[in-house]
Each structure stands twice: as structure tokens, then as C-alpha cells.
């Protein structure tokens, strides 16, 4: 995120990720796909 976006946020959070995981976006997209197909 840009510095401006970070300053505009009311809450900052960090999501720890295992080494070797390329992107949280891939995990989130997979979760949405699995939930939709369920």
C-alpha cells in the first residue's frame, strides 16, 4: 500500500504467511471458489 493509504487506515493488521506461499490473493481466491462450489 502507498504511504497515503496506510495513513488513511484506522486499523493496520499483519497476516503472517508461511514461507513458500506466493500470495494471500491466491489463497483467498481458492477459498471463494471452494465456498461457491460447495
User: How far apart are the C-alpha atoms of 38 and 35, rounded to whole Å?
Assistant: 5
3: left (phi over 0), alpha (psi -120 to 50) or beta: alpha
Give the pLDDT confidence score for residue 29 in this predicted structure. Answer: 84
- The pTM for the full model equals 0.38
CB 29 within 8 A of CB 37: no
Q: Residue 26 is part of which domain span?
A: 3-36
Q: What is the pLDDT of residues 12-37, one digit of tens each?
A: 887 777 787 767 788 788 888 898 88
**Number of domains the chain contains:** 1
Amino acid at each position: 500500500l502507498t504511504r497515503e493509504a496506510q495513513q488513511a487506515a484506522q486499523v493496520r493488521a499483519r497476516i503472517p504467511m508461511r514461507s513458500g506461499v506466493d500470495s494471500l490473493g491466491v489463497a483467498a481466491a481458492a477459498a471463494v471458489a471452494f465456498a461457491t462450489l460447495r
